[in-house]
């Protein structure tokens, strides 16, 4: 029985690390009147009323709710050129509070910031398409 005492103590101590605060999960579909966001650990996609974007793998959300990601932004509207729309490097940043995520998109090479957009977990996304 004496051999079990150190093993039990080790098991109890190893469980202490599990009680630390962890960041909330925001994977899945998020929707709002001006944007639709789909996220997974492999990255994501964003649809705006007049544009779209991609989110690179490795995005993160910190305890307390700040969310940051990198990716690309594509302008929308009008006919799509035969060679497609050129990608623009983008930085996504926002804050999650419960089931609501508010985020903006910085597009440095266009000298613009889009948003803020507010989306809700599981809600339908933007239904209009920019022509």
User: How much is the pTM?
Assistant: 0.76
Chain segment 64-116, per-residue pLDDT in tens:
889 999 999 999 876 778 888 899 999 999 999 999 999 999 999 999 999 99
Per-residue pLDDT for 6 more than 70? Answer: no
pLDDT the model gives residue 21:
43
* Nearest alpha carbon to residue 121 among 100, 95, 94: 100
Tell me: pLDDT of 15 over 70.
no
C-alpha to C-alpha distances, 45 to 48, 58, 74, nearest whole angstrom: 10, 14, 11
d(CA 58, CA 97): 21
**Measuring CA to CA, which residue among 130, 91, 95, 128 is closest to residue 113?**
91
How many whole angstroms separate alpha carbon 90 and alpha carbon 113?
A: 9
């Amino acid at each position: 029985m004496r051999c079990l005492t150190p093993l039990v103590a080790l098991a109890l101590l190893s469980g202490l690390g599990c009680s630390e605060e962890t960041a909330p999960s925001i994977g899945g579909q998020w929707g709002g009147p001006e944007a639709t966001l789909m996220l997974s650990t492999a990255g994501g996609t964003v649809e705006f009323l007049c544009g779209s974007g991609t989110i690179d793998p490795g995005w993160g959300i910190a305890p307390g709710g700040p969310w940051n990601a990198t990716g690309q932004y594509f302008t929308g509207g009008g006919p799509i050129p035969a060679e497609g729309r050129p990608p623009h490097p983008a930085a996504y940043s926002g804050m999650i509070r419960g089931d609501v995520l508010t985020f903006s998109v910085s597009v440095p090479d266009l000298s613009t910031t889009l948003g803020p957009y507010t989306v809700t977990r599981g809600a339908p996304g933007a239904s209009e398409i920019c022509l």
